Chain A
Amino acid sequence: MNEATERAVRSLLATASDGGPERVEFEAPARRRRVLVPVLAALAAALAAVITMTSTTGSALAVVTAAAERTAGDSFRVTGSSVSPEKSMTSTGYFDPAARTGRTVVEGTGRETRFIGDQVYQYDGVRWTVEPRVDDPPVFKLAYMDPQAALAQLQAASQVKEEGAAPGDGWTGTRYSFEIDLPDLKGDRHVTGIVDIDEQGRVRHMEMQVGDSRNVADYFDFGAREEVAAPPDAQPAPDGKRSTRP
């Protein structure tokens, strides 16, 4: 590449990254609880919470947490979307928590991810790579599009209120509103949301809103069975043997 082209690329990259804050401040993380605990632990905690709460009250909170636990205990399909002023994304997926398999496809990108046990297979539109699954979600991220993690987050919900009927496509249920304060490095972030629970006590629809960004997930085809196979030609990700934790 000649000098003029290099100079143009450098200039464009500088422009593309222009406009950020002039200085970044960092507040040292205090000892804090994890925002997201591993799925099984989260489910166990949710179950414990459900047992405790349902024994004392039939509150809306108990209904919601029980639905989250029930939904995450069976296989399902899910569509998700994330919309912010800067970016929109839609994905479809299938998860079987018992088999520890899953598959998601991000629409319009050709990207696909397959979860099989402790392995993650990733297709970038050209080739498959594989590496050990990393279960170290960033603490600042909020409502994960991970349907299991999103469900687990409902256990932290507060201000849960019944909002009325929530008829869906082929199901009827009840809508609940909720709020979650998720710990963050800069203090708690306030999430508001709604969750629709069908008459079988399963989460069908969930929305979470933070500022001008919104996540939506729709759960369906409960009990579906889908084979998620490892791609035969997946290559170890470059330097995938290295931990993502330095």
Chain B
Amino acid sequence: MAHDFSAFVRRRGAHHLRTAVLLTGDWHAAEDLLQSCLVKLYKAWPRLDTATDPDAYLRRTLVNTHRSWWRVSWRRETPSDAMPDPPARPEDPALALAVRQALEILPPRQRLALVLRYFEDLPETQVAELMGCSVGSVKTHTHRGVRRLREVLGAELIPDDDEVEARR
């Protein structure tokens, strides 16, 4: 069981860490969030049947745990030890930081909708199920989230739909 679990984490952990950093905004908090969720998954692992997708289970746990942390975010903002392996520098670290900061400005549900829809690449129905809302609400959250991101980051990075259509 431990071997299977470790293999899963090695295979998929980095991806879920990326989801976590988009939700939390920084790597320290992302690592904390992921590890907290991995502990929960580890405890549940023996109960998961073969039909249970551990990715989906971990994703749901990330969403729920992050939401509960955010609700008491003033408690959760804590010093965090340096990561054992310093993150590699992204190709454009300034842009990466700017996007994470822009995401932080968004209301949590807009941010969550964008991350699930456009990073996790989930269909709207699945995003709605995870967020506990309707597909229509998901559309609204993503639309408003993109619009806000564009306001913060600029239309050069996120082209305006109308302008794109007009250029055609």
Q: Which A173-189 residues have a C-beta within 8 angstroms of B?
A: 184-186, 189
Contacts known (A1-B146, A120-B72); A25 close to B107, Cβ less than 8 A: no
Are B64 and A244 in contact, CB atoms less than 8 angstroms apart? Answer: yes
Count of CB-CB pairs between chains A and B under 8 Å: 241
Interchain nearest-CB distance for A136 vs B (Å): 8
Bound complex: CA A21 to CA B16 (Å)? 11
Are A142 and B78 in contact, CB atoms less than 8 angstroms apart? Answer: yes
Are B71 and A131 in contact, CB atoms less than 8 angstroms apart? Answer: yes
Contacts known (A5-B164, A26-B6, A84-B28); A18 close to B91, Cβ less than 8 A: yes
Q: B55-97, CB under 8 A of A: which get 1 and which 0?
A: 0010011001101111111111111111111011111110110
Q: A157-198, CB under 8 A of B: which get 1 and which 0?
A: 000000000000000000000000000111001010000000
Residue numbers in A under 8 Å from B9 (CB-CB): 24-26
User: A56 in the interface, Cβ–Cβ < 8 Å?
Assistant: no
Are B5 and A26 in contact, CB atoms less than 8 angstroms apart? Answer: yes
Q: Which B18-71 residues have a C-beta within 8 angstroms of A?
A: 18-19, 21-22, 25-36, 38-40, 42, 44, 57, 60-61, 64-65, 67-71
Are B14 and A246 in contact, CB atoms less than 8 angstroms apart? Answer: no
Residue numbers in B under 8 Å from A5 (CB-CB): 146, 158-161, 164
Residue numbers in A under 8 Å from B71 (CB-CB): 113, 120, 122, 131, 237
Are A134 and B68 in contact, CB atoms less than 8 angstroms apart? Answer: yes
Are A15 and B79 in contact, CB atoms less than 8 angstroms apart? Answer: no
Bound complex: CA A210 to CA B158 (Å)? 38
Residue numbers in B under 8 Å from A237 (CB-CB): 67, 71
Chain B minimum-CB-distance residue to A22: B14
Within 8 Å by CB of B74, from A9, A15, A106, lies A106
Interface residue total, chain B, C-beta cutoff 8 A: 89
Interface residue total, chain A, C-beta cutoff 8 A: 77
Are A17 and B74 in contact, CB atoms less than 8 angstroms apart? Answer: no
Residue numbers in B under 8 Å from A244 (CB-CB): 64-65, 67-68
Are B132 and A28 in contact, CB atoms less than 8 angstroms apart? Answer: no
Are B79 and A84 in contact, CB atoms less than 8 angstroms apart? Answer: yes
Contacts known (A25-B9, A140-B36); A84 close to B17, Cβ less than 8 A: no
Of A59-67, A69-77, A143-151, which stretch is located at the interface?
A143-151
User: A86 in the interface, Cβ–Cβ < 8 Å?
Assistant: yes
Give A residues with C-beta under 8 Å from B: 1-2, 4-6, 8-10, 12-26, 28-29, 80, 82, 84, 86-87, 89, 91, 93, 104, 106, 111, 113, 120, 122, 124-126, 131, 134, 136-146, 149, 184-186, 189, 191, 208-215, 237-240, 242, 244-246
